[in-house]
Each structure stands twice: as C-alpha cells, then as structure tokens.
Amino acid sequence: MDSSAPSVIIIGGGPGGYEAALTAAAAGARVTLVEEIGLGGASVLTDCVPSKALITTAEFKARFEFAEKMGVEFSEDDGDPATHEPLLEGVEAHIDLAGANRRVMDLAAAQSRDIRAALEEEGVRVLDGRGRLLAKDTVEVTAADGSTQTVQAQTVLLSTGASPRVLPSAQPDGERILTWQQIWGLTELPEKMIVVGSGVTGTEFAHAYLGLGCEVVLVSSRDRVLPGEDADAAECLEEVFRDRGMQVMNGSRAESVERRGDEVVVTLTDGRTVTGSHCIMAVGSVPNTDDLGLEEVGVATSDSGHILADKVSRTSVRGIYAAGDCTAVMPLASVAAMQGRIAMSHALGEAVQPLRLGAVSSNIFTDPEVATVGVGQKELREGAQGINEIMLPLAPNPRAKMRNVHHGFVKLFATQGADVVVGGVVVAPSASELIYSIALAVQHRLTVDQVAQTFTVYPSMSGSIAEAARRLHTRED
C-alpha cells in the first residue's frame, strides 16, 4: 500500500462504516475500520437482517396454513390419484423457535463473514475492539483483552449506530423482559408476547410473533399504530392485525414492566395492567455516542446525543465525518450506507452528490408490507402545497384476486400542473419490490403520464401503479 495515500479511520462496522470503508479503499485510501461486536453491525447481527429473516419464517408458516384454501392438498403418493389421502387437512403448522432462531443467527453470521471478506479483499485493515477519539486525527482502540493501540489518520468517520432505549422502570432481564437484541436466544415460543411501542420496530415484531403462533398484545402510546407513517396504511395494517387476533391497545403508555415469576406485568400510566409470558420493549433507540471522546475533540451533538452532520456527512470538526444512526438523519440501513459513501467521496476529493432524503424508499415488513417513498401525508400535513394525491385499492386488481389479496392500495403524489411524481405509498405483499418503480419516478422526476404510458405486465400488481398514475393525470383538482 502506497504510504503517501490518504488515510482514513472508521469507528463502527455497520452499513454506515463498512460501505464507507469499501468506498474509501476503492478510491485508493489506506483504511482502518474499528468494530466492537462484529462486522455488519447491529444492522446485520441483531436488528435489520435477523428481524427480516424471522418474519420470513412466520410468513412461510402462513403459506402452509393457507395452502388448503388455495386448493393445495398434501398426501402420500401411492400412484393412484383417486385414493390419495390428504395428510394435512385442517393442518396447523408449528414453529421450532430454537431452530428458527438458529437459522436467523447463522444467516447473520454468514453475512458478517461475507462483509469481512469483502473488506479484506479491498485491503481494509480491520481492528476488533472499541474506538475512542483522542484527538481529531487520533483514535485509541481497546481490544477485548484490554490491550490498547492508537491509530492516526487524516480523516475519521464515526458510524457507531444506536442501541435500544431502556426505560428505568422496565429493565430488561434478558429472559422475559427483552430488548429486540435479546430475543434471538429464545428457544421456546412465548405463550403471550406483549410488544411495547408501535413504531416500525414494535409493529414488525408484533407481526412476526403473531405469525409464529403467539398470542400478541401491542401496547401503543399513540392513537394508532405506526404514528409516523401514512394514516391509511396504518389503519389498514391495524385492521389486518385485529382480524388475525392481535390485541392492539392504542392510547396506552407503559409506565413500568416487571417480572413476576413466569409472567411479566406491564402497568400502563392509567393504572391498567397487561399480563403476558414475555415482553419486547420497542420504545426507540439512543445513539452510541457516549464515551467516544466527542466533547473533548469538539464534535457537536444534539440534546438527544446524536452527532450533528450536514448533507455531505461533515461534523463540526474539520476532517471528522459521521454517518448512520449516530446522526439524527433517517435511521435506515440504506441511508447510513449512503451517508458513509458520501463522507468518503467528500473527504477524498471525489465527485459527490449531497444526501437527498426526498427520494429515500423504505418498507415495513408486515403482511401486507407498507412501502413509502418521497413526499407523503407527513409533508402535506406540514403544509406542502400544490400536491395532488390518489389512492387506488388493490382488491379489484386481477393479480391481487388470484393471490387472494384483499387489503392494500397504491397511493401516488404528484405536483399540480406539472404532474411530476413526488411520492408514493404501496400497501401490498412485496411492496418493498413494487416501490422501486415509484422510487425511479421520484428520483428522475417522471410525470404521471410517463409512468402511465410505461408497459406493465398483465396481470400484475404493478398494473395498479400505472393505473393510479393514469387516474391522477385525469383528476380536475
């Protein structure tokens, strides 16, 4: 490695950190990455990847239970179709949670190994340990055995992520009162899971455990689930949850959670109590910015402890950048990765496009999924003017009928006059895939006509996106 090449040190090996490391190494920099728990970060090891893998198991189970209604029978093949005895009539599938969690953790570990291999192939030096700023260009790394070393670099990237918020009156015990990072060791399916918090995290885990076969109570402090999301999408999901037997308790703030033998008792602020066998606390996150040396070096943070970073990921200290959940920008793996790449391009003098949050797409992995991109109800509520909106239910879509989809819709937002697509919501199975066509339209400022005139497959769910665009064009308002 050329010793005159620019040097970079990155603290934190989640999507923000490892994507930055790959970008910087590809640009010819000498890169050191310091990571404490494992490459891939919380995203790969405990949060994003494991939660989606567990949800996939729950959804797989649902398919077996639904098979009969779709006309599928399972039988022993004795060669004579007339005498086949259905084996699984009225079947109920059961979950081996130990096996499911093992698969999830194996998958996460494999992805972490892949990331290490990719980094090493690019020549990134990985140091296992905890990093702390000693000066604007110096990081002290403490290994698990307590030994320390210092590393100097011209550029520093902080990408230390965030951790589950813990309420003082609801201390996780790791057995029955759990943060979402502690559930992966469960070996038996909880009888009754109480999920506290109905943001995206709580909603996804409530969906997952309901699908796995638990009784689920979702304790939501707000007047509906997913308070930050499209209200129609949240209402649709809440209806589906209730239809499937979930108890959704809106307007219910947890005051405390305590363990009583084999039970957990959640006491609400109005005095009511909810009893279950287990409880997941999903009441938000706090940035991992304590004890990073920020104050000593002068890196500015918000009152919540998030590092203040601009659209090219610069902090208040020249040469120090920040990316991901430790900043106050959208807490998504995709955004963390983009912030990390932008930081490195900026630091190394490459062409750089500032972060554009208007075209970020995201998805809530429930059934149906809820995917959004760009301008939405929130922006309209906050006073965005001159936007037309259309909502098209999916039920009449022929592909939806075949797939037995009764819930869900497509929503498009476009500017009045110019008819440029600026946002969309899809509530449907595989909405995470369907949203990409709307994201392309938003990113490249396509008009509703351009979307409407693009061929879609017949029959397909994406036909509803083109149809929504067609109808949005012909609206008078």
Ligand X SMILES: NC(=O)c1ccc[n+]([C@@H]2O[C@H](COP(=O)([O-])OP(=O)(O)OC[C@H]3O[C@@H](n4cnc5c(N)ncnc54)[C@H](O)[C@@H]3O)[C@@H](O)[C@H]2O)c1
Ligand Y SMILES: Cc1cc2nc3c(=O)[nH]c(=O)nc-3n(C[C@H](O)[C@H](O)[C@H](O)COP(=O)(O)OP(=O)(O)OC[C@H]3O[C@@H](n4cnc5c(N)ncnc54)[C@H](O)[C@@H]3O)c2cc1C
Is 200 annotated among the ligand-binding residues?
Answer: yes
Interface with ligand Y includes 180 (CB under 6 A)?
A: yes
How far apart CA 113 and CA 418 sit, in angstroms, is 48
Interface with ligand Y includes 179 (CB under 6 A)?
A: no
Pair 357, 338: CB distance under 8 Å: no
Is 199 annotated among the ligand-binding residues?
Answer: yes
Interface with ligand Y includes 333 (CB under 6 A)?
A: yes
Helix, coil or strand: residue 74: coil
Interface with ligand Y includes 160 (CB under 6 A)?
A: yes
Pair 36, 130: CB distance under 8 Å: yes
Is 131 annotated among the ligand-binding residues?
Answer: yes
* Residue (13 or 463) nearer to ligand Y, CB: 13
Task: Give the x/- contact pattern for ligand X in 222-261, rule: CB under 6 A.
Answer: x----xx------------------------xx-------
* Residue (47 or 419) nearer to ligand X, CB: 47
Pair 83, 76: CB distance under 8 Å: no
Which of ligand Y, ligand X, none does 14 bind, CB closer than 5 to 8 A by kind? Answer: ligand Y
* Cα→Cα distances 202→190, 194, 205, 225, 475, Å: 16, 10, 5, 9, 38
Interface with ligand X includes 424 (CB under 6 A)?
A: no
* Residue (34 or 254) nearer to ligand X, CB: 254
How far apart CA 453 and CA 24 sit, in angstroms, is 41
Residue 29 Cβ, how far from ligand X at the closest point, in Å? Answer: 30
Pair 266, 194: CB distance under 8 Å: yes
Pair 326, 159: CB distance under 8 Å: yes
The residue within the footprint of ligand X, chosen from 31, 58, 193, 200 (CB under 6 A), is 200
Is 197 annotated among the ligand-binding residues?
Answer: yes
Helix, coil or strand: residue 148: strand
How far apart CA 400 and CA 189 sit, in angstroms, is 32
Residue 189 Cβ, how far from ligand Y at the closest point, in Å? Answer: 19
| Helix %, strand %, coil % of the chain (to 5) | 35, 25, 40
Stretch that binds ligand Y, among 112-120, 240-248, 327-335, 464-472 (CB under 6 A): 327-335
Which of ligand Y, ligand X, none does 202 bind, CB closer than 5 to 8 A by kind? Answer: ligand X
Pair 252, 220: CB distance under 8 Å: yes
Task: Give the x/- contact pattern for ligand Y in 236-275, rule: CB under 6 A.
Answer: ----------------------------------------
The residue within the footprint of ligand Y, chosen from 9, 22, 36, 126 (CB under 6 A), is 36
How far apart CA 46 and CA 71 sit, in angstroms, is 38
Residues lying near ligand X in the complex (CB under 6 A): 196-202, 204, 219, 221-222, 227-228, 253-254, 282-285, 330-332, 362-365
